[in-house]
């Protein structure tokens, strides 16, 4: 007689999973926007458990509690969800320097998930945004970063953006880029600091 295969019953969903699935996201959004800090804090924790990174990214720029905002940024950095990048990139245009810096640090921590958006920002009309994009790009650890930085150095019309590109090239530039890097000083003859930065970058690249 052949053995009858043992059929294991499928695991029943946990009570917690059922509770989480029943939560109305509209109510959660309302809780994030309410005036009660404790209620917002609970909503942030719940959103994180639900995997609602997009919801948190949409909210973080409006959060006035510095500690809670920092916590949201940490959650977003750990999630590294490409769907949240656009909301964080929008914060680079904020007048709040602290919020901008937090957004930059979060985007840096997210790594490759940010690459397409950051590359697009290198052609932004706002030179400050292009500099912020350079700051993020250095942390991407992508093989494309040296070539992107060199393109910016050779084509961007803003000397400060080019200086940011040089900062990257001094870290990740290749020896075969030396001649093109050297030529960048000629683009801004009235900016001696850039010529100094070029020499420093070439020295580091070798």
- The pLDDT, as a whole number, for residue 138 is 86
Is the residue at 58 inside a domain? yes
Q: With respect to residue 33, please indicate whether it lies within any of the assigned structural domains.
A: yes
- So what's the pLDDT on residue 8? 56
State both tokens at 142: 């992508």
Say what the pLDDT of residue 14 is. Answer: 46
Name the domain count of the chain.
Answer: 1
pLDDT tens for the chain, 206 residues: list them: 555 555 555 554 444 444 455 556 678 899 999 999 999 999 999 999 999 999 999 999 999 999 999 999 999 999 999 999 999 999 999 999 999 999 999 999 998 889 999 999 999 999 999 999 999 998 887 888 999 999 999 999 999 999 999 999 999 999 999 999 999 999 999 999 999 999 999 999 97
Residue 54 is assigned to a structural domain of this protein:
yes
Within-domain flag for 50:
yes
The reply to whether 203 falls in a domain is no
Whether residue 197 is contained in a domain is answered as no
CATH of the domain at 41: 1.25.10
pTM for the model: 0.82
Structural domain includes residue 196: no
**In the chain, which residue ranges form alpha helices assigned H by DSSP?**
15-21, 25-33, 37-50, 53-60, 66-79, 85-90, 97-110, 115-121, 127-137, 145-155, 159-172, 178-183, 192-205
> What pLDDT was estimated at residue 4?
53
The confidence score (pLDDT) of residue 27 equals 86
Instruction: Give the list of residues 6+ apart from residue 175 with CB closer than 8 angstroms, or none.
Output: 205, 206
Tell me the C-alpha to C-alpha distance, in Å, between residue 87 and each of 7, 44, 99. Answer: 48, 16, 12
Give residue 33's domain range.
23-113
């Amino acid at each position: 007689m052949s053995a009858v295969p043992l059929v294991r019953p499928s695991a029943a969903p946990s009570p917690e999973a059922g509770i989480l699935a029943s939560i109305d996201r509209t109510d959660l959004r309302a809780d994030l926007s309410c005036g009660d800090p404790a209620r917002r804090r609970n909503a942030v924790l719940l959103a994180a458990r639900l995997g609602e990174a997009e919801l948190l990214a949409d909210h973080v720029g409006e959060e006035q509690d510095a500690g809670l905002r920092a916590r949201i940024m940490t959650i977003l950095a750990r999630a590294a969800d490409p769907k949240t990048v656009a909301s964080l990139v929008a914060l680079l245009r904020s007048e709040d320097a602290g919020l901008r810096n937090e957004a930059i640090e979060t985007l840096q921590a997210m790594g490759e998930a940010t690459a397409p958006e950051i590359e697009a920002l290198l052609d932004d009309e706002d030179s400050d945004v292009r500099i912020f994009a350079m700051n993020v790009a250095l942390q991407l650890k992508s093989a494309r970063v040296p070539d992107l930085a060199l393109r910016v150095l050779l084509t961007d019309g803003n000397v400060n953006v080019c200086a940011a590109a040089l900062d990257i090239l001094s870290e990740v530039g290749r020896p075969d880029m030396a001649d093109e890097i050297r030529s960048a000083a000629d683009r801004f003859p009235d900016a001696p600091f850039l010529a100094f930065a070029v020499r420093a970058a070439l020295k580091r690249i070798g």
